[in-house]
Amino acid sequence: AQTVTQSQPEMSVQEAETVTLSCTYDTSESDYYLFWYKQPPSRQMILVIRQEAYKQQNATENRFSVNFQKAAKSFSLKISDSQLGDAAMYFCAYRSPNTGNQFYFGTGTSLTVIP
């Protein structure tokens, strides 16, 4: 099984500031996909951003961007101009065709936004 590690159980950020959430993964594959999901207090899982391993360019979605370092097997999420609505659990996930297309999730990072 693939291992996805989120080493920061909890993080906090001041409103309007920038925060980076870390994610590392263990794989010997070259073809895979990475995702960040947000789980607010409603517990509905929402896709934040995705990254294809074959793309060198880092994905960006409005205030959310990733720093994808393939050689280091690192996939961090940067949230700019943090808003109160960004407060949630964030999960990093990995998926590849060589592992039956399963999703492997990290244990999550709880983000608090301080007004």
Partner 1 sequence: DGGITQSPKYLFRKEGQNVTLSCEQNLNHDAMYWYRQDPGQGLRLIYYSQIVNDFQKGDIAEGYSVSREKKESFPLTVTSAQKNPTAFYLCASSIGSSAGEAFFGQGTRLTVV
Looking at the Cβ atoms of 83 and 107, the one nearer to partner 1 is 107
Cα→Cα distances 71→8, 53, 108, Å:
21, 11, 23
> Which of 7, 9, 55, 83 lies at the binding interface for partner 1 (CB under 8 A)?
9
Question: Is 62 a binder of partner 1 (CB under 8 A)?
Answer: no
Question: Is 3 a binder of partner 1 (CB under 8 A)?
Answer: no
Q: Which two tokens stand for residue 43?
A: 């517990």
Contact flags string 71-100 toward partner 1, x per CB under 8 A:
--------------------x-x-xxx--x
Q: Over 26-56, what HEC string results? A: ECCCCCCEEEEEEECCCCCCEEEEEEECCCC
Q: How many C-alpha atoms does 46 have within 13 Å on its Cβ side?
A: 13
SS3 86: helix
Site for partner 1, residues 11 to 50, rule: CB under 8 A: 31-33, 35, 37, 42-45, 47, 50
Question: Is 113 a binder of partner 1 (CB under 8 A)?
Answer: no
**Is the Cβ–Cβ distance between 82 and 38 less than 8 Å?**
no
Site for partner 1, rule CB under 8 A: 1, 9, 31-33, 35, 37, 42-45, 47, 50, 52, 91, 93, 95-97, 100-103, 105-108
